[in-house]
Amino acid sequence: MSTGTTAVRVELFGSPQLLTGRRQVEVPGRTLREVAGALAHEFPALAGSVIDPATGWLTGGYIFVVDGRFTRDPSYPVGPGSTVLLVSAQAGGVS
Amino acid sequence: MNAVHGRYLQIDLSSGTATARQLTEAVFARLLGGVGLASYLLYRFCPPGADPLEPENPLIFASSPFIGTGITTASKIAVVAKSPQTGMIGDSLSSSYLALALKRTGYDALVVTGQAPSWTVLAVDDGEIRLLPAGELLGLDPAATAHAIRAELGSGFRVAAIGVAGECGVRYASISNDGRLAGRTGSGAVMGSKRLKAIAVRGTQRLPVVADPRGVVRAARELAERSLGPGTAKYRELGTAANLAFFSRLGVLPTRNFQAGTFEAAEAISGERLFLEHRTDKHGCAACTIGCEHHYRTRDASEAVEVRLEYESLFALGSLCGISDPNAVLRAAALCDRYGMDAISTGSTIAWAMECVERGVRLPGSPDEWPRFGDAGSLVRAVQTIGERRGLGDLLAEGSRRAAEIVGQGSVEWAMHVKGLELPGYDPRKLKAMALGFAVSTRGACHNRSSAYEVDFSDQLDPHAEALAWASAAASSEDRAAVLDSLTVCKFLRHCFSDFFAEAAELFALVTGLPMTAVGLRLAGERINTVKKLFNLDQGWTRADDTLPPRLLSGEAGGLTAAELDRLIQAYYCVRGWDEQGRVPPGRLRELELAELLSQDGRMMYGYAG
């Protein structure tokens, strides 16, 4: 992680957790786009199915939850106190 | 129109006779097929006040125009009856080759009425029926039953069967076919009440042709390709079990009978952990390209069992009962399948009993057999006693609402159901749209007939949005679900459309040749939900039935209050064009073009005084 940048704690669920082997990571970033880029950089396994290498942003199957708010807004601001979750965009199931 | 036969077969088990009856084009044009068609037939055949476990309750199996067209996932059969849990409409869907077999018989639906004189297998061989003795099949699980029937009748037959739970009258017994379940609302108990152990169907007729074969092939291919994209990634990779750890983190994982929304042992039974330590393989349903069915195996000292597991079974037999042992959860889920009963209602009713024990409420039977939160052995034993209706299980087989009414001692306060159907794995205290969806759903607490949780799990609405906005979102979600259920297309496809109603309308037109627009299809969804509501009104529904258990309305920790839910419900009635009591005014029926379709039955009261 670069010095002088904000470290954000990101909790990973589902495939992102399996791909990284981590439930929780810390990456630099002031917006969700920067967080996504940092995740792809530090955990190359996420590039492709979770984060599109071409755009540096989430693929359609994933969404962030920041302090309880679901968002796919790349400009959404985050900081050291933010609670950021990376989860599947398809909630729920059938029965 | 194309892609349907325009007729159904009414089978009276009491007399052993079958009668072919016509279905008009208007029924399909307005109600599509599947659950819409079956709801219409239920409305026609089930008299007001019918006892769900008496011969007068029809058991209906319905196909759809999409079945057999090559459209991915569209091989689901709708199973509908008056529910012995709710006393209102009970509708389920099950993916299987049975749906294809039924359509190849030359009929769009089966309406089974009456009661067989003794335990019976109903064989439907194209248009011919036979009632065969089933005495030797009693006590077998659904898979063994199907195996025995196909060995005797031939592998061309597809079988829907009940297990011991259906034989014993467990109110939340399910119907199983090809390992898939028409799981919720107790259709297996209805089937058992008819002394019907199984239905075996063989169809050899040509499938009705679609209106635009080339167009359907093109559209089906495109949809199949999209079904392998990001819109279904979760289901293909981890399955719905992936919900558990995330839901716990959000505080919406029902835990110890909804006493908490976070389970401290969630990691131990998380989908991720199950994937790494228990998953064996993955399957797809009939005619499905997604392949979301994940199988898991127990890994402990006892005899290994392998079972398909979804999030709903995992939460109901796991966190809801405070169980952190994944082997126990898998074993309990396998038992539910073997007995043939709904895992959600099973787990929730056991959780109710566990809370009774925790609070010192006396239950029938020996305290040694009472289930306790966190006690894995007691969970598995409780499932067994329910499946066989013995000991305490005889009480729990009635479901949480009836069991609480029998036991009393204040236990109705923690019976977690809506209209008698136990809640699925979404704690609605923090999920406003889902709370409304649960409260107003015609089949009771249900995430599938509403899917309103998608509004909560997205940025569609500001948390402080007006009640009307939440109500509109919940109604839209219900209408989309009704369309999917009536076209018999899997809900896991819903994210594969960029404009669902427009694209599905185009598919419907290509298949049937009937004109359809996005607005028309959305209206069809509303119409289907209205038919279900009309059935409930006929069966005695009142405004008081649209609510949530008191525990969920305390307003604690910023959660929902009774006043807030009431505002949401009133807004929902307004969006639907219903009156303040939730009844459907005759003018609304005319606007929905339902008045004429249903008036042939001569009962147009729908909750209004005659």
Backbone angles phi, psi at B267, to 5 degrees: -60, -35
By three-state DSSP, how is residue B254 classified? coil
DSSP symbol at B423: P
Cα B330 from chain centroid? 21
Interchain CB contacts (distance < 8 Å): A and B: 101
Residue that is last in its domain, among B422, B448, B479: B422
By three-state DSSP, how is residue B507 classified? helix
Residue B14 and residue B159 in one domain: yes
Q: Where are the alpha helices (DSSP H) in B458-499?
A: 467-487
Which residues of chain B does A61 touch, with a Cβ-Cβ cutoff of 8 Å? Answer: 230-231, 233-234
Residue that is last in its domain, among B202, B220, B248: B202
In sequence order, what are the residues at sequence separation of 6 or more whose Cβ sits closer than 8 angstroms to the Cβ of residue B590? Answer: none
Sheet holding A69-71, edge to edge: A24-28, A7-12, A84-88, A62-66, A69-71
For A13, the closest of B181, B183, B246 (CB atoms) is B246
By three-state DSSP, how is residue B75 classified? coil
Q: Look up residue A94 and give its two tokens.
A: 């059938």
pLDDT for A91: 63
Residue B154 and residue B243 in one domain: no
Residue B538 and residue B411 in one domain: no
Over chain B (610 residues), what is each successive 10-residue block's mean pLDDT? 97 97 96 98 95 97 97 95 98 93 97 98 96 98 98 97 98 94 96 98 97 97 92 88 96 97 98 97 89 94 96 98 98 98 98 98 94 98 98 98 98 98 96 97 93 89 94 96 96 90 97 98 98 96 97 91 97 98 95 86 43
Residue length of chain B: 610
Domain count, chain B: 3
Nearest residue in chain A measured CA to CA from B237: A15
Q: Give me the CATH number covering residue B395.
A: 1.10.569.10
B356 in any annotated domain: yes
Cα B550 from chain centroid? 24
Residue B91 and residue B168 in one domain: yes
Number of Cβ atoms within 10 Å of the Cβ of B245: 26
Fold of A26-88: Ubiquitin-like (UB roll) (3.10.20)
B218 in any annotated domain: no
Task: Please give the C-alpha separations between residue B566 and each of B442, B572, B573, B607, in angstroms, as whole numbers.
Answer: 17, 10, 11, 20
B226 in any annotated domain: no
Which value does ipTM take for this structure?
0.93
Which residues of chain A does B229 touch, with a Cβ-Cβ cutoff of 8 Å? Answer: 60
Cα B289 from chain centroid? 22
3-state secondary structure A79-90: CCCCCEEEEECC
Our CA-based measurement puts residue B593 at a distance from the nearest CA of chain A, in whole angstroms, of: 30
- For CA atoms B451, B457, B460, B462, the dihedral sign is positive
Residues forming a β-bridge with B81: B90
Positions in chain A short of pLDDT 70: 1-5, 91-95
The closest of B289, B377, B398, B293 to B337, measured between CA atoms, is: B293
Tell me how far apart the alpha carbons of residues B479 and B84 are, in angstroms, rounded to a whole number. 25
pLDDT for B102: 97
pLDDT for B601: 52
Q: Give me the CATH number covering residue B170.
A: 3.60.9.10
Q: Where are the domains of chain A?
A: 26-88
Residue B587, judged by CB atoms within 10 A of its CB (0-12, 13-18, 19+), counts as exposed
Tell me how far apart the alpha carbons of residues B122 and B101 are, in angstroms, rounded to a whole number. 14
Residue that is last in its domain, among B422, B448, B473: B422
B103 in any annotated domain: yes
Residue B352 and residue B395 in one domain: yes
Residue B584 and residue B497 in one domain: yes
Tell me how far apart the alpha carbons of residues B530 and B605 are, in angstroms, rounded to a whole number. 14
Residue B133 and residue B154 in one domain: yes
pLDDT for B563: 97
- A18:B276 CB<8 A: yes
Residue pair B153/B140 in contact (Cβ under 8 Å)? The answer is: no
The closest of B441, B540, B426 to B46, measured between CA atoms, is: B540
Whole domain around residue B262: which residue ranges?
231-422
Which residues of chain A does B454 touch, with a Cβ-Cβ cutoff of 8 Å? Answer: 91-92
Q: Mutate which of B272, B344, B447 to test chain A, going by most A C-beta atoms within 10 A?
A: B272
Tell me how far apart the alpha carbons of residues B3 and B208 are, in angstroms, rounded to a whole number. 5
pLDDT for B604: 45
Q: Mutate which of B95, B249, B453 to test chain A, going by most A C-beta atoms within 10 A?
A: B249
